[in-house]
Amino acid sequence: MNELHYQLDLMRAMNQKLSDREKMYRLLCDTMDYAYIYYSFEKNSVTTLGKWDDFFDFQIRDRRDFTKLLEMVDEPYVLPLRDMLFLEKGGQETSSVECMQKGKKIWLQFSCRIFYEDGRPADQIIVVQNITKLKTQNEELLYMAYYDGLTGLYNRNYFVRLLTEYLRRAKEDNRLVSVLVIDIDDFRKVNDGLGIVAGDELVQQFGSFLKEFNSDDVIVCHLTSDVYCMAIYDSCGDRSVEHIHKEIVKRTREPFYLVGGQILNITVSVGVAEYPEAATSALELINCAEIVMFKGKSMGKNRIQYFDTPILNDFLKNVELDSKLKEAVFDHNFILYYQPQYYAGNQKLRGMEALIRWKDGDGEMISPAKFIPIAEKNGTIIPIGNWVLEQSIRTFSEWRNRYGVPFVLSVNISALQYQKEDFVDLLLNIIRKYDVSPEEIELEITESILIDDFQAVTEKMQLLKEYGIRISLDDFGTGFSSLSYLKKLPINTLKIDKSFTDTLLTDSATRIITESIVSMVKSLGFESIAEGVEEEQQYKYLRAIGCDIIQGYLFGKPLSQEEIEQLLQKIY
């Protein structure tokens, strides 16, 4: 009897232990965000555990009910899931499926494992997990890896991979690959004038248009900011460079309508480089196309420019000059020359123009026509311009004090230098530092300064003039200026460009224009200077029509500081 009680107590203890273990398993299952299916082959029974009711709105009682799972799954995923559920394979299998769950599209992952006893299937465990969030995150990561978030076009990295594959195919098939770099002209004005939101919208709209060219043999990417890149495999027919460029131009002739109500008209500059002529690697091809695109911009924008070797060589030379120029600015490796200016009537010295020269480390004298445009692009024009102001006014002060006769010093000012907020203060400080009269300093500005903000430019001119500083409008007739608005400019002098002087004696139209300029200048109370005077007949003609001041090789080439001192000693 005691033995029986003992066995009963032992069984109760074991049942309690099993019950506790089952409770623990159920709690664990309910805690996890999974649904579980347990199938017993021997009993042909199914038990569902975990968050089953959160996943499904039906129950499974035996293995035949597995078909209910298949009914909710999208067609492409049915067969793989059916094989996993019903074929009794060893090991663990996983199948991710897209399906409808309670009226919503979701992604579920089914993991299945069958356990064997004595070589026969005994138990099947199926774990179901909602991977919609994970799938979405993965898709977003994949999208970010391959596509540009702003335009939906390929991003630079993926484009380079695709272009590299184009080049591999082209090498095998002996085909050409054309790369186009497409840049929206004057995009900065859109951002500055309308804001970056409007700029982004323009980039999106133009990107959507370019996206229409995507095909097996044409790929498009958003390279950066307002720059796009296109690659064409075996350019011909509708996918020829010429046809695509024609379509691009056609689109840019139509306005872009922005959400804010703005209407924009744009032009684009396009650079083209081809494999294998220009380069044989993806990055080199893009670089070559970008180089010639910038060349096209420098020639007037709104054009297509094809790659050729001289353009690349010029670019490489400019890169070298850019590097040397930055070193020269740091080391002050510049020299000032001065070209005399004379009154046309009595040939007396009126003053001189300070002209910068650069002698690089190799002893080569580099023309300002070469390095000034580079300095304007890389920003070194500001320290260079400030150095010219400081050095020329210091030297001018020494000459004036030494010879006691006042004359005018003309100094060229770049648009970037002029636009600096502290320009007026900087100039006045230099003038005070070297104790010269503001009336003896003349700033030569070009017409390009007037393009961006006419009112702000003229207000600064007026301020300078109030301090007594003279203003000269340089290279008149080569830009966009017209005689009609000269009266709006608070200038003292107008400089007639050398291109007019060169053809005075051979072209009647030039003479008519020059006479009109001189006459208008006189009526407005300005002085006129003709530069580039190299022949006696040019001088006589200019003097006859009333030009005030002459500058050119006929009277004096640009001279070094020592040569100017010798000239002043002779005169004074």
My answer on whether 200 and 227 are in the same domain is yes
Q: What are the structure tokens assigned to 447, written together?
A: 């017409």
Domain assignment present for 86: yes
Domain assignment present for 462: yes
Q: How far apart (Å, rounded) are the C-alpha atoms in residues 44 and 136?
A: 37
Domain assignment present for 422: yes
My answer on whether 270 and 173 are in the same domain is yes
Q: What integer pLDDT is reported at residue 177 of this predicted model?
A: 96
My answer on whether 253 and 398 are in the same domain is no
Q: What is the pTM for the complete model shown? A: 0.61
**For the chain, percent of residues with pLDDT exceeding 70:** 92
My answer on whether 366 and 488 are in the same domain is yes
Output the domain CATH number for residue 423.
3.20.20.450
My answer on whether 411 and 267 are in the same domain is no
My answer on whether 276 and 179 are in the same domain is yes
My answer on whether 357 and 435 are in the same domain is yes
Q: DSSP letters along 519-546, please? A: HHHHHHT-EEEEE---SHHHHHHHHHTT
My answer on whether 375 and 273 are in the same domain is no
My answer on whether 123 and 176 are in the same domain is no
My answer on whether 274 and 206 are in the same domain is yes
Output the domain CATH number for residue 125.
3.30.450.20
Picking from 88, 111, 136, the residue at the C-terminal end of a domain is 136
Cα-Cα-Cα-Cα dihedral sign, residues 481, 482, 488, 490: positive
My answer on whether 130 and 165 are in the same domain is no
Q: Which residue(s) pair with 220 in the sheet?
A: 230
Nearest Cα neighbor of 420 from 449, 392, 440, 447 is 449
Q: Are 123 and 44 in contact (CB under 8 A)?
A: no
Domain assignment present for 22: no
Q: What integer pLDDT is reported at residue 23 of this predicted model?
A: 53
Domain that holds residue 83: 32-136
Q: What integer pLDDT is reported at residue 367 of this predicted model?
A: 86
Q: How far apart (Å, rounded) are the C-alpha atoms in residues 409 and 354?
A: 7
Output the domain CATH number for residue 158.
3.30.70.270
Q: What are the structure tokens assigned to 373, written together?
A: 């445009």
My answer on whether 355 and 287 are in the same domain is no
Q: How far apart (Å, rounded) are the C-alpha atoms in residues 78 and 65?
A: 15
Domain assignment present for 19: no
Q: What integer pLDDT is reported at residue 30 of this predicted model?
A: 57
Q: What integer pLDDT is reported at residue 411 of this predicted model?
A: 97
Q: How far apart (Å, rounded) are the C-alpha atoms in residues 215 and 198?
A: 29
Domain assignment present for 244: yes
Judged by DSSP in three states, 143 sits in helix
Picking from 136, 170, 205, the residue at the C-terminal end of a domain is 136
Picking from 136, 164, 193, the residue at the C-terminal end of a domain is 136
Q: What integer pLDDT is reported at residue 5 of this predicted model?
A: 45
Pairing of β 527-531 and β 549-551: parallel
SS3 content of the chain, % helix, strand, coil (to 5): 50, 25, 25
Domain assignment present for 13: no
Domain assignment present for 332: no
Q: What integer pLDDT is reported at residue 349 of this predicted model?
A: 94
As for how many domains the chain has, the answer is 3
Judged by DSSP in three states, 236 sits in coil
Pairing of β 268-275 and β 177-184: antiparallel
- In this prediction, the residues of the chain whose per-residue pLDDT falls under 50 are 1, 4-6, 9, 13, 17-18, 20, 479-480
